[in-house]
Amino acid sequence: MNDIVANSVLPANREPIEFTSSDGLRIVGELATPADRAPTATIVMAHPLPTAGGSMDSHLLRKAAWRLPALTGMAVLRFNTRGTSSSSGASQGAFDQANGEGFDLRAAIEHSVTLGLPAPWLVGWSFGTDVVLRHGNVDPVVGAFLISPPLRYSQESDLDGWAQPGRPVIALVPGEDDYLRPDEARERFARIPQAHVIGVDGAKHLWIGEPSTYCVLDTLTQYVLPEASPLPTEFDGPMTRWSDV
């Protein structure tokens, strides 16, 4: 058994993907699926603010792709929104303040359907939560898991829309967040009767450090695939290490 640490990469089938938004832009991403079984659930991940360095390679998204296929059986689809570049590639277009990014998210959802991936949940982090709240309330989405939601671009009408179909909305809110803390988050998400706000004492917006990463990934697993929680902290099998973490 080997400890799972910040740069641990567990076995999975990983492949670069491309799909086209409905307004004609080429969007790049990666799909990670279990190496030894068919996926039992899917997470489609939307990254933090690209104008502040966010991308599909932001650390929580990469670690989800590195760990969750092997530990839980989930498929992990992450992508760069329009105008975003990372080591994984560049998507066409330009940053559009959570407007045009909705076309990218919808295309990612449609691509997951085309690939036959099961039970898609949307996972947004920071800016990505606004993209999810504004544009992700569509079939066949099961629910939304929101990490450090700033509610910067989302309007009350966007929140109200999630109340209608009753899809679960989970907000994981750092106790020391720079933008939205748990008490205010509970007030604002009260517009969604089924929303559940989880405050995490001592956590910060960027979730730096292995305890913070584990908290995010395990809480996510509790809702998306509860039978796979708690996540193990060791892995009995081959493991590689990513070099830039």
| pLDDT band, residue 243 (cuts 50/70/90) | confident
* Buried/exposed code over 86-102 (b: 16+ C-beta within 10 A; e: otherwise): bebbebbbebeebebbb
Which residue shows structure tokens 């599909």?
Answer: 56
Based on C-alpha coordinates, what's the Rg of the chain?
Answer: 17
Residues 6+ apart with CB under 8 A from 63: 6, 213, 217
pTM of whole model > 0.95? yes
The model's pLDDT over 125-147, given as tens digits with 9 standing for 90+, comes to: 999 999 999 999 999 999 999 99
- Given a contact cutoff of 8 angstroms between Cβ atoms, the answer to whether 57 and 30 are in contact is no
pLDDT, position 138: 98
| pLDDT band, residue 171 (cuts 50/70/90) | very high
Smallest CA-to-CA distance from 1 within 185, 242, 239, 179 is with 239
pLDDT, position 244: 76
Q: Is the pLDDT of residue 209 over 70?
A: yes
Q: Is the pLDDT of residue 46 over 70?
A: yes
The model's pLDDT over 8-28, given as tens digits with 9 standing for 90+, comes to: 999 999 999 999 999 999 999
Smallest CA-to-CA distance from 198 within 184, 182, 220 is with 182
Domain ranges of the chain: 2-241
- Of the chain, the percentage scoring pLDDT greater than 70 comes to 100
* Buried/exposed code over 189-209 (b: 16+ C-beta within 10 A; e: otherwise): beebeebebebbeebebbbee
Residue range 159-165: mean pLDDT, rounded = 95
pLDDT, position 245: 57
- Of the chain, the percentage scoring pLDDT greater than 90 comes to 98
Smallest CA-to-CA distance from 144 within 177, 179, 120 is with 120
- In Å, how far are 19, 103, 177 from 134, measured between CA atoms? 21, 11, 21
Overall fold of domain 2-241: Rossmann fold (3.40.50)
